[in-house]
Chains A and B, each alone.
Chain A
Amino acid sequence: MSILQQLTEKPWLDANDGVVELHRRRAFSLPTVTLGLRFLLAVLTVVFSLFFIAYADRLTFPDWHPLPEPWLLWLNTAILILSSFAMQKARTAVDRGQSEIVRFGMLAGGVLAFTFLAGQLLVWRQLVGLGYFAESNPANAYFYLVTALHGVHLLGGLVAWGRASAKLRHSTEVSEVHLSIELCAVYWHFLLVIWLALFALLLFT
């Protein structure tokens, strides 16, 4: 039953209409955790969108002095893309049962994510060294704020990654950790999209 059909049901009509036999209990044929993650991503989309809207609103003011984009940001972006790619590799390899690729993909994805975070800290240091302090211009403040927020979310993802990796180590069959790896990969892609949107915003302003 589509959601529309479900919402136009007339529940008061007949108690004996076969609903019990047909009812599938779930509104979506997804694993529960997957649906939970989707709702979480919806919430995070709202959080980041609000920052982006505030950012876009603010940068139209005349006192907005955009920061330079250090070349390191390009490298970091490439690293994050690779990290997401490795996660995706691990995710597809689970289906094919290629446990070596799964293990390598997960490891590479995590290590690259840590590298990205370290790279972001370096960018911060460079910018502070150049005198771009958070309190000196709103453009700087927004940059530090949104990169920090993105980083914190990636850190949270790394906690989940750590748990999934531990499960992977102790599992004999990779299919046991299928769901954890899939969720990690989805979350990684989500943060990559957020980062790309943010980076585009920085480049074009």
Chain B
Amino acid sequence: MATVAPADAAYVPPAEVEEVDLYHPKSWLTKYVFCQDAKVIAIQYSITAVAIGMVGLVMSWLMRLQLGFPDSFSFIDESLYYQLITMHGMIMVIYLLTALFLGGFGNYLIPLMVGARDMVFPYVNMLSYWVYLGAVLVLIASFFVPGGPTGAGWTLYPPQAILQGTPGSGAGIVLMLVSLALFIVGFTMGGLNYVVTVLQARTRGMTLMRMPLTVWGIFVATILALLAFPALFVGAIMMTLDRVLGTSFFMPTIVELGEQLKYGGGSPLLFQHLFWFFGHPEVYIVALPGFGIVSDLLATHARRHIFGYRMMVWAIVAIGALSFVVWAHHMYVSGMNPYFGFFFATTTLIIAVPTAIKVYNWALTLWRGDIHLTLPMLFAIAFIVTFVNGGITGLFLGNVVVDVPLSDTMFVVAHFHMVMGVAPILVILGAVYHWYPLMTGRMLHEGMGQFHFWVTFIGAYSIYFPMHYLGFVGVPRRYYEIGVTEFIPDSAATLNANITVAALIVGFAQLVFLFNIVWSAYKGKKSERNPWKATTLEWQTPQMPPGHGNFGAELPVVYRWAYEYSLPGAKDDYIPQNVAPAEVAMAEPQQELPGGASQPAE
């Protein structure tokens, strides 16, 4: 270890953190509704996110029905189709994934994993949820206004987003932008909490490099979100003014329905820059917590320390930093200076390096591990495979010459659904199977879980693998129907129909999963303490599920990192972080191995 204590430094007792006045709920209302306990807030966030996510799921069914069986569903017209595309994208990326990873898992796991009693600003944390709920309600309200929700595409590019002819260009787009602004305000409140809690409220002995990678992933993702969401906020406010007051921040001189509008001189490209300056880090806001969680799932269920822990931490930080200089690779077809494109193609390819480090380290963590094919492990392995798949097509698309012909085809849809749709969802599902016993004290039903995993995994591949081929033959994305097109073979229609069937089946499997969650909460098998024999602090709480204040009278003291699995010489194959060196149970003395190797080589 590098100089922890300079030799000449006298021992200075560590400055104690003042005990936070832990807030104590007094009534039912402040215990379950207006609650400042991070665990309750986490569950509120998760339920809201999953509820709105189900709306997004149903929307994807409707889209798939239209694409797979055009002309069969008369209630899906062009406008509705565009509204479905837009709302599905927005809901899934922002209101489901971001909220679930940071608001849900962040709130539940950060205080427990770093050994804190709660977040550092519990009141602001509570406010964060209620503002988020407000944002979701405003979003839902946009379904019921005249003209319906906006159909501008999830990127909301001006000028078309606020012009007539785009569905929902009346109240729909305004409510969408207001909802986004609210979401960002709410998120900022929560985000400040997560960052400061990780930095300032760790328990004694929990140095930064002893934190589980889950915390690292959520921590860096939160910093990204704090710095990236302002761009969307700025864009949303300016577009709202364009729509409501008639300013021309983004609106060029333009003719609408044969009539010259009074807009003029605005720059639509400026919005694209603002949007993607948020939009690209957003990919990593969703990916980094996933990276962290999957690392912990792999280590725990393979009974092996994570390979290259420091490298994993640095890779998370490097990916976070690089994610701010790649945004214009989403704009290759918007028209830009070729040198500009060259720059962004280069940075895009560079970001593959730290990402590849992570993938190799996951594989090497499994290498010679004692792999238990539990449900969380299955999902974690499925994540690695899927992420590699989606990541590699990303390398194709990162090159300007490859991106230009493929940009408006189904190939892009397949790529981003693999890499930031299926992959993070697989992590979330794995994480739910892993931490459900902690949250409820009961195990999820294994049979339903196996059904859920295999249908989801194989089904997701039957949806998105063929989509790459559709893209290659030139099937455009965002099209309501392609009808008879010269260069697209008839087999594309058959493939589309198959994809739709797969999508319906995968969606159904998610309903089984939701049923499992509800059913197991009451009827599930009682879980033992620490059922996965994990080392991290959240499993070492005196009660399970953890009570108010997380840890009993005394906060735990951390003596080791989070990955002390299968330590040679120890009796158990795991040593929790809070077990002092003197208390480690040793195995019966064995015959000394020749060579006396005892420490795992690093």
Instruction: Report the count of interface residues on B (CB-CB < 8 A).
Output: 64
With both beta carbons as reference points, the residue of chain A lying nearest to B253 in the complex is identified as: A63
- Of the candidates B17, B241, B277, B561, which one forms a contact with A11 in the assembled complex, judged by CB atoms under 8 Å apart? B561
A37-45, A124-132, A183-191 - the one binding chain B: A37-45
Let me know if B200 and A27 touch, CB within 8 A.
yes
B100-108, B202-210, B389-397, B430-438 - the one binding chain A: B202-210
Determine the chain A residues whose CB is within 8 A of the CB of B204 once the complex forms.
20, 23, 25
Let me know if B4 and A1 touch, CB within 8 A.
yes
With both beta carbons as reference points, the residue of chain A lying nearest to B246 in the complex is identified as: A135
Let me know if A43 and B230 touch, CB within 8 A.
yes
A28-36, A72-80, A91-99, A162-170 - the one binding chain B: A28-36
Looking at the assembled complex, report how far the CB atom of B468 sits from the nearest CB atom of chain A, in whole angstroms.
Answer: 36
Looking at the assembled complex, report how far the CB atom of B332 sits from the nearest CB atom of chain A, in whole angstroms.
Answer: 20
A51-59, A100-108, A110-118, A197-205 - the one binding chain B: A51-59
Provide the B289-327 mask, 1 if CB < 8 A to any CB of A, else 0.
000000000000000010001100110000000000000
Question: Roughly how many angstroms separate A142 CA and B242 CA in the complex, as a whole number?
Answer: 11
Let me know if A54 and B270 touch, CB within 8 A.
yes
- Of the candidates B201, B264, B270, which one forms a contact with A63 in the assembled complex, judged by CB atoms under 8 Å apart? B264
Looking at the assembled complex, report how far the CB atom of A22 sits from the nearest CB atom of chain B, in whole angstroms.
Answer: 6
- Of the candidates B199, B230, B238, B314, which one forms a contact with A26 in the assembled complex, judged by CB atoms under 8 Å apart? B199
Asked whether B351 is an interface residue with its Cβ less than 8 Å from the other chain, the reply is no
Asked whether A160 is an interface residue with its Cβ less than 8 Å from the other chain, the reply is no
Asked whether A172 is an interface residue with its Cβ less than 8 Å from the other chain, the reply is no
With both beta carbons as reference points, the residue of chain A lying nearest to B560 in the complex is identified as: A15
With both beta carbons as reference points, the residue of chain B lying nearest to A135 in the complex is identified as: B246
Determine the chain A residues whose CB is within 8 A of the CB of B203 once the complex forms.
25
Determine the chain B residues whose CB is within 8 A of the CB of A142 once the complex forms.
249
Provide the B195-235 mask, 1 if CB < 8 A to any CB of A, else 0.
11001111111111110000000000000001100110110
Determine the chain B residues whose CB is within 8 A of the CB of A14 once the complex forms.
1
Question: Roughly how many angstroms separate A72 CA and B109 CA in the complex, as a whole number?
Answer: 52
Max count, chain B CB within 10 A of own CB: residue among A30, A46, A142: A46
Q: Given contacts A43-B226, A145-B237, are A6 and B209 in contact (CB under 8 A)?
A: yes
Let me know if A20 and B262 touch, CB within 8 A.
no
Q: B453-495: which have CB < 8 Å to A?
A: none
Determine the chain A residues whose CB is within 8 A of the CB of B246 once the complex forms.
134-135
Determine the chain B residues whose CB is within 8 A of the CB of A1 once the complex forms.
4
Let me know if A36 and B17 touch, CB within 8 A.
no
Asked whether A119 is an interface residue with its Cβ less than 8 Å from the other chain, the reply is no
Q: Given contacts A7-B313, A19-B207, are A39 and B237 in contact (CB under 8 A)?
A: no
With both beta carbons as reference points, the residue of chain B lying nearest to A140 in the complex is identified as: B247
Question: Roughly how many angstroms separate A5 CA and B2 CA in the complex, as a whole number?
Answer: 7
- Of the candidates A23, A28, A134, A138, which one forms a contact with B266 in the assembled complex, judged by CB atoms under 8 Å apart? A138
With both beta carbons as reference points, the residue of chain B lying nearest to A11 in the complex is identified as: B561
Question: Roughly how many angstroms separate A54 CA and B269 CA in the complex, as a whole number?
Answer: 11
Let me know if A35 and B200 touch, CB within 8 A.
yes
Max count, chain A CB within 10 A of own CB: residue among B11, B204, B270, B277: B204
Let me know if A17 and B4 touch, CB within 8 A.
yes
Determine the chain A residues whose CB is within 8 A of the CB of B17 once the complex forms.
25-26
Asked whether B510 is an interface residue with its Cβ less than 8 Å from the other chain, the reply is no
Determine the chain B residues whose CB is within 8 A of the CB of A71 once the complex forms.
none
Determine the chain A residues whose CB is within 8 A of the CB of B581 once the complex forms.
15-16
Instruction: Report the count of interface residues on A (CB-CB < 8 A).
Output: 51
Looking at the assembled complex, report how far the CB atom of A144 sits from the nearest CB atom of chain B, in whole angstroms.
Answer: 8
Q: Given contacts A25-B203, A35-B199, A57-B270, are A42 and B227 in contact (CB under 8 A)?
A: yes
Asked whether B593 is an interface residue with its Cβ less than 8 Å from the other chain, the reply is no
Determine the chain A residues whose CB is within 8 A of the CB of B602 once the complex forms.
10, 12
Let me know if B561 and A28 touch, CB within 8 A.
no
Let me know if A23 and B248 touch, CB within 8 A.
no
Let me know if B238 and A7 touch, CB within 8 A.
no
Q: A134-192: which have CB < 8 Å to B?
A: 134-135, 138, 141-142, 145, 149
Determine the chain B residues whose CB is within 8 A of the CB of A21 once the complex forms.
11, 14
Let me know if A11 and B249 touch, CB within 8 A.
no
Provide the B232-266 mask, 1 if CB < 8 A to any CB of A, else 0.
01100110010001111100000000000010111
With both beta carbons as reference points, the residue of chain B lying nearest to A43 in the complex is identified as: B226
Let me know if B207 and A50 touch, CB within 8 A.
no
Asked whether B274 is an interface residue with its Cβ less than 8 Å from the other chain, the reply is yes
Question: Roughly how many angstroms separate A63 CA and B247 CA in the complex, as a whole number?
Answer: 14
Asked whether A47 is an interface residue with its Cβ less than 8 Å from the other chain, the reply is yes
Looking at the assembled complex, report how far the CB atom of A42 sits from the nearest CB atom of chain B, in whole angstroms.
Answer: 7
Question: Roughly how many angstroms separate A61 CA and B14 CA in the complex, as a whole number?
Answer: 58
Q: Given contacts A7-B209, A27-B208, A32-B200, are A17 and B1 in contact (CB under 8 A)?
A: yes
- 16 A–B pairs (Cβ distance < 8 Å), ordered by A: A1-B4, A6-B209, A9-B209, A12-B561, A17-B1, A23-B204, A26-B15, A27-B199, A32-B196, A35-B199, A39-B195, A40-B192, A135-B246, A138-B248, A145-B237, A145-B238
B-side residues, CB < 8 A to A, are 1-5, 11, 14-17, 120-121, 188, 192, 195-196, 199-210, 226-227, 230-231, 233-234, 237-238, 241, 245-249, 262, 264-267, 270, 274, 277, 305, 309-310, 313-314, 557-561, 563-564, 581, 602
The 5 closest A-B pairs by CB, nearest first: A11-B561, A141-B247, A135-B246, A9-B209, A20-B205
